[in-house]
Amino acid sequence: MGGVSRWPHAARTHRNAPAVTALAECFDLADAKQIELVLARAADDGFEMAARLSWRLRLLVQRSIPPRAIEAAPVPRAARLRFADGTTVVVHGTMPGDLGILAIAMKYGSVKPTACSLSPEGNARLSLAWPGANHRLSLDVVGLDQPD
Protein backbone atom coordinates (compact mmCIF):
# COMPACT_ATOMS: atom_id res chain seq x y z
CA MET A 1 0.00 0.00 0.00
CA GLY A 2 2.96 2.35 0.16
CA GLY A 3 2.22 5.84 1.49
CA VAL A 4 -1.48 5.82 0.60
CA SER A 5 -3.86 5.67 3.56
CA ARG A 6 -6.89 3.41 3.41
CA TRP A 7 -8.86 6.03 5.33
CA PRO A 8 -9.35 9.25 3.36
CA HIS A 9 -10.10 11.25 6.51
CA ALA A 10 -6.55 10.59 7.78
CA ALA A 11 -5.11 12.92 5.14
CA ARG A 12 -7.66 15.62 5.99
CA THR A 13 -6.64 15.57 9.64
CA HIS A 14 -3.08 16.55 8.73
CA ARG A 15 -4.20 19.32 6.37
CA ASN A 16 -6.44 20.88 9.06
CA ALA A 17 -3.78 20.80 11.79
CA PRO A 18 -2.17 24.15 10.80
CA ALA A 19 -5.61 25.84 10.91
CA VAL A 20 -6.21 24.54 14.46
CA THR A 21 -2.76 25.75 15.53
CA ALA A 22 -3.40 29.18 13.99
CA LEU A 23 -6.74 29.39 15.82
CA ALA A 24 -5.06 28.55 19.14
CA GLU A 25 -2.52 31.33 18.55
CA CYS A 26 -5.37 33.89 18.24
CA PHE A 27 -6.21 33.51 21.94
CA ASP A 28 -3.94 34.66 24.71
CA LEU A 29 -3.95 33.34 28.27
CA ALA A 30 -6.29 36.10 29.55
CA ASP A 31 -8.89 35.22 26.91
CA ALA A 32 -8.68 31.54 27.80
CA LYS A 33 -9.24 32.33 31.50
CA GLN A 34 -12.23 34.53 30.65
CA ILE A 35 -13.73 31.81 28.47
CA GLU A 36 -13.31 29.30 31.31
CA LEU A 37 -15.03 31.74 33.70
CA VAL A 38 -17.99 32.21 31.33
CA LEU A 39 -18.35 28.42 30.89
CA ALA A 40 -18.17 27.88 34.67
CA ARG A 41 -20.91 30.50 35.20
CA ALA A 42 -23.08 28.82 32.58
CA ALA A 43 -22.62 25.45 34.31
CA ASP A 44 -23.59 27.02 37.67
CA ASP A 45 -26.67 28.61 36.10
CA GLY A 46 -27.66 25.26 34.58
CA PHE A 47 -27.29 23.54 37.95
CA GLU A 48 -29.32 26.27 39.68
CA MET A 49 -32.07 25.98 37.05
CA ALA A 50 -32.17 22.18 37.46
CA ALA A 51 -32.41 22.56 41.25
CA ARG A 52 -35.34 25.02 40.93
CA LEU A 53 -37.04 22.77 38.40
CA SER A 54 -36.58 19.75 40.66
CA TRP A 55 -38.10 21.67 43.57
CA ARG A 56 -41.11 22.66 41.46
CA LEU A 57 -41.67 19.09 40.24
CA ARG A 58 -41.64 17.78 43.82
CA LEU A 59 -45.10 19.32 44.21
CA LEU A 60 -46.34 16.98 41.45
CA VAL A 61 -44.81 14.03 43.31
CA GLN A 62 -46.24 15.08 46.71
CA ARG A 63 -49.72 15.48 45.25
CA SER A 64 -49.42 12.38 43.01
CA ILE A 65 -50.54 14.36 39.98
CA PRO A 66 -50.50 11.94 37.03
CA PRO A 67 -49.25 12.72 33.55
CA ARG A 68 -52.15 12.86 31.07
CA ALA A 69 -50.48 13.30 27.68
CA ILE A 70 -47.16 12.72 26.00
CA GLU A 71 -46.44 14.28 22.61
CA ALA A 72 -43.57 15.23 20.34
CA ALA A 73 -41.47 18.21 21.36
CA PRO A 74 -39.59 20.63 19.11
CA VAL A 75 -36.33 19.18 20.52
CA PRO A 76 -34.87 16.00 18.94
CA ARG A 77 -35.37 12.79 20.98
CA ALA A 78 -37.55 14.60 23.51
CA ALA A 79 -41.23 14.76 24.39
CA ARG A 80 -43.67 17.07 26.08
CA LEU A 81 -45.18 15.53 29.17
CA ARG A 82 -48.41 17.19 30.30
CA PHE A 83 -49.76 16.58 33.80
CA ALA A 84 -53.35 16.72 35.03
CA ASP A 85 -52.82 20.13 36.67
CA GLY A 86 -51.65 21.68 33.38
CA THR A 87 -47.91 21.58 34.13
CA THR A 88 -46.03 20.73 30.94
CA VAL A 89 -42.35 19.77 30.83
CA VAL A 90 -39.93 18.73 28.10
CA VAL A 91 -38.29 15.41 28.94
CA HIS A 92 -35.56 13.10 27.59
CA GLY A 93 -35.45 9.41 28.34
CA THR A 94 -32.46 8.26 30.38
CA MET A 95 -32.37 5.07 28.30
CA PRO A 96 -33.30 4.58 24.63
CA GLY A 97 -36.97 3.66 24.33
CA ASP A 98 -38.06 5.17 27.66
CA LEU A 99 -40.46 7.63 26.01
CA GLY A 100 -42.16 4.87 24.03
CA ILE A 101 -42.51 2.69 27.12
CA LEU A 102 -44.03 5.63 29.00
CA ALA A 103 -46.50 6.33 26.17
CA ILE A 104 -47.69 2.70 26.23
CA ALA A 105 -47.94 2.68 30.03
CA MET A 106 -49.99 5.88 29.97
CA LYS A 107 -52.34 4.46 27.35
CA TYR A 108 -53.09 1.25 29.24
CA GLY A 109 -52.74 2.24 32.88
CA SER A 110 -52.27 4.83 35.57
CA VAL A 111 -48.80 6.39 35.79
CA LYS A 112 -47.77 8.37 38.88
CA PRO A 113 -44.68 10.46 39.60
CA THR A 114 -42.75 8.88 42.49
CA ALA A 115 -39.66 11.06 42.97
CA CYS A 116 -37.81 14.07 41.64
CA SER A 117 -34.13 14.69 42.28
CA LEU A 118 -30.94 15.92 40.68
CA SER A 119 -29.08 13.39 38.54
CA PRO A 120 -25.31 12.95 38.84
CA GLU A 121 -25.01 15.00 35.62
CA GLY A 122 -26.84 17.91 37.29
CA ASN A 123 -30.20 17.50 35.51
CA ALA A 124 -33.62 17.39 37.12
CA ARG A 125 -34.68 13.73 37.06
CA LEU A 126 -38.32 12.66 37.40
CA SER A 127 -39.14 9.07 38.33
CA LEU A 128 -42.49 7.58 37.29
CA ALA A 129 -44.15 4.27 38.20
CA TRP A 130 -47.27 2.31 37.36
CA PRO A 131 -48.89 -0.81 38.84
CA GLY A 132 -46.99 -4.04 38.38
CA ALA A 133 -43.69 -5.52 39.34
CA ASN A 134 -40.72 -3.34 38.42
CA HIS A 135 -42.70 -0.90 36.29
CA ARG A 136 -40.80 2.34 36.70
CA LEU A 137 -38.52 4.60 34.74
CA SER A 138 -36.70 7.90 35.05
CA LEU A 139 -36.71 10.88 32.72
CA ASP A 140 -34.39 13.87 32.57
CA VAL A 141 -36.44 17.06 32.60
CA VAL A 142 -35.07 19.68 30.20
CA GLY A 143 -37.41 22.45 31.35
CA LEU A 144 -40.92 23.76 31.62
CA ASP A 145 -42.95 24.17 28.45
CA GLN A 146 -46.30 25.48 27.34
CA PRO A 147 -48.69 23.29 25.39
CA ASP A 148 -49.40 24.53 21.86
Task: Give tens-digit pLDDT for 50-69.
Answer: 677 877 888 889 999 999 99
40 located within any domain = yes
Give the pLDDT of residue 13. Answer: 47
Q: Report pLDDT for 43.
A: 53
Beta-bridge partner residues of 86: none
Residue 3 lies in a domain: no
Total-model pTM: 0.64
**27 in a structural domain:** yes
4 occurs within a structural domain:
no
Q: What angle do CA 88, 43, 72 make, to 5 degrees?
A: 25
Q: What residue numbers bound the domain in which 45 lies?
A: 9-145
> Which residues have a Cβ under 8 Å from the Cβ of 70 and sit 6 or more positions away?
79, 80, 81, 82, 99, 102, 103, 106
- Has residue 120 been placed in a domain? yes
Is 34 or 15 the better-scoring residue by pLDDT?
34
Domain total for the chain? 1
The residue ranking higher by pLDDT, 42 or 86, is 86
Domain-embedded: residue 127: yes
| 86 assigned to some structural domain | yes
Mean pLDDT of 8-22: 48
Residue 5 has pLDDT above 60, yes or no: no
- CA distance to 68, 117, 119, per residue, from 82 (Å): 6, 19, 21
- Within a domain: residue 76? yes
Rounded Cα gap, residues 50 and 117, in angstroms: 9
* Predicted confidence band of residue 9 (pLDDT cuts 50, 70, 90): very low
